[in-house]
Amino acid sequence: MLQSLFNNFTLLTTVIFFGYMIKNKMPDRLETALCIRILLGSSLGLLGVVLMYYNFPISGHAVADFRQLPILISVYMGGGISGVITTLFIAIYRLLFLYGFGMHSVIAAINAPVTFLIGLMFLRGRKTTMERLILTLALSASSTVIVISILSNGLPFKAIGLYFPLFILAGMFTFSMLRYLRNKDDSIRMMREAANRDFLTSLYNSRAFEVKMEHKIAAAQRDKIPFTLLFVDIDHFKQVNDRYGHLAGDAVLLQIADVMRETFRPGDHIARKGGEEFVILVDRCDAEQIKMIAERLRSNVENHVFLLPDGGELRLTISAGSATYPNEHEEELIVKADQALYQAKEAGRNRVYRAADLFYEETIQKGIYRFP
């Protein structure tokens, strides 16, 4: 009995562990995709089928297994869609294939949808409390005990007292393992995200922006979709630090970052280049569209009232320069945008220029200019 129980439990936890590792290798954007939920439900359904063959005796004429746990895990991790698929796998296999079709198989198969409904009622994914988890496991164990009692013409209290705590302990261990793995992955993800963010504004830093730039160029070349690189500089920012102090300067940078987030779309990538300089990758934006977008940013900043730590108020302006791909060669984008920004500042500040608006051309040594 102990050997069979150990085999059932070991198979369950091992498959769950390595399955989670495989799932974790997939891109974050696919976690909620329908295909992933279908794959999750199917995989856990197959696990439930295999667990039926690793049953363990709980009395002289009754055996049990942990096939209900894959259903609960499927609901917990993938929601209703995954749970339905896992339930169908287990119920259909128990109904038609395990011991052949009959009244016993019908009664046993009913336990799968009952377990699914219990999980759907009480499990809330990451928001599932320990109390809800214990209640879910207890109700699922009770359902299984009732089914086994019917099939075996009554189940001794000793067998019930044996199966009930075994099932709950196995469920608690499995769900605790899943929570640990999720928390560990969240911590790693947060550390990676922090390494890519500017410490003050929480915008992307220059290192992360370089990677975004490389990916964007590769995607634009493949999909033939234009994008624009926009350089932004706060006009006379040094005077803010000199006159009001660095705390005031930090407050201004934080508020500038907020204005940028409100101006650009979620798909656009905003980074702090350093000091008072910012750079934005504007997705699906050609040379004509950037005129309106950059002007909107300039106007939003000009009309914004900056609040200082001492309660004072301040008005500021920005200058901006842009270069658009494929109008400009990929190796010249940064230099061209920087030249346009320089021209905007030379022309009096508080204005935006495109690479196409440059008054002069400079010889550019390709391939040696990198984002600092």
Q: Is the pLDDT of residue 143 over 80?
A: yes
Is 369 domain-assigned?
no
pLDDT at 133: 93
Is 372 domain-assigned?
no
37 and 74 inside one domain: yes
Q: Where is average pLDDT lowest: 23-27, 136-140, 259-263?
A: 23-27
136 and 230 inside one domain: no
Q: Is the pLDDT of residue 32 over 90?
A: no
Instruction: Report the alpha-carbon distance of residue 352 to residue 357 in Å, rounded.
Output: 10
Give the model confidence (pLDDT) of 200-211 as tens digits. 999 999 989 999
Averaged pLDDT for residues 99-111: 88
Averaged pLDDT for residues 77-86: 93
39 and 132 inside one domain: yes
pLDDT at 351: 94
CATH number at residue 149: 1.10.1760.20
pLDDT greater at residue 209 or residue 362? 209
Q: Is the pLDDT of residue 114 over 80?
A: yes
Q: Is the pLDDT of residue 149 over 90?
A: no
Give the model confidence (pLDDT) of 38-67 as tens digits. 999 999 999 999 999 988 887 766 778 899
Q: What percent of the chain has pLDDT over 70?
A: 91
* Neighbouring residues of 242: CB distance < 8 A, sequence distance ≥ 6: none
71 and 21 inside one domain: yes
pLDDT at 1: 57
Q: Is the pLDDT of residue 191 over 90?
A: no
Q: Is the pLDDT of residue 371 over 50?
A: no
CATH number at residue 309: 3.30.70.270
Is 370 domain-assigned?
no
Give the model confidence (pLDDT) of 212-251 as tens digits. 999 999 999 898 999 999 999 999 999 999 999 999 999 9
Q: Which of 164, 195, 226 is the last residue of a domain?
A: 195
172 and 213 inside one domain: no
- In terms of Cβ atoms closer than 10 Å to its own Cβ (0-12, 13-18, 19+), residue 272 is buried
Averaged pLDDT for residues 125-139: 90
Q: Are 358 and 261 in contact (CB under 8 A)?
A: no
Instruction: Report the alpha-carbon distance of residue 203 to residue 73 in Å, rounded.
Output: 36
172 and 286 inside one domain: no
Is 363 domain-assigned?
no
Query: What does the H/E/C string look like for 53-99?
Result: CCCEEEECCEEECCCHHHHHHHHHHHHHHHHHHHHHHHHHHHHHHHC
pLDDT at 369: 33
- Work out how many domains the chain is built from and give that number: 2
pTM metric for this prediction: 0.65
31 and 171 inside one domain: yes
Q: What percent of the chain has pLDDT over 90?
A: 59
Nearest to 49 by CA among 97, 10, 84, 113: 97
Is 168 domain-assigned?
yes
Reading the block at residue 87, the tokens are: 């339930």
Is 328 domain-assigned?
yes
Q: Which of 175, 195, 215 is the last residue of a domain?
A: 195
Model confidence at 365, pLDDT cuts 50, 70, 90, reads very low
Is 157 domain-assigned?
yes
Model confidence at 370, pLDDT cuts 50, 70, 90, reads very low
249 and 324 inside one domain: yes
pLDDT at 162: 79
105 and 236 inside one domain: no
188 and 212 inside one domain: no
Averaged pLDDT for residues 351-357: 90
For residue 288, count other CB atoms closer than 10 A to its CB: 10
Averaged pLDDT for residues 238-265: 95
Q: Which of 195, 218, 241 is the last residue of a domain?
A: 195
Is 11 domain-assigned?
yes
Averaged pLDDT for residues 75-85: 93
Give the model confidence (pLDDT) of 272-283 as tens digits. 998 999 999 999
135 and 257 inside one domain: no
Q: Is the pLDDT of residue 363 over 60?
A: no
Instruction: Report the alpha-carbon distance of residue 312 to residue 309 in Å, rounded.
Output: 7
Torsion of CA 342, 343, 346, 350, to 10 degrees: -90
pLDDT at 31: 56
Nearest to 236 by CA among 226, 223, 249: 249
Instruction: Report the alpha-carbon distance of residue 16 to residue 274 in Å, rounded.
Output: 45
Q: Domain range for residue 120?
A: 2-195
Model confidence at 362, pLDDT cuts 50, 70, 90, reads very low
Give the model confidence (pLDDT) of 293-348 as tens digits. 999 999 999 999 999 999 999 999 999 999 999 999 888 999 999 999 999 999 99
220 and 191 inside one domain: no
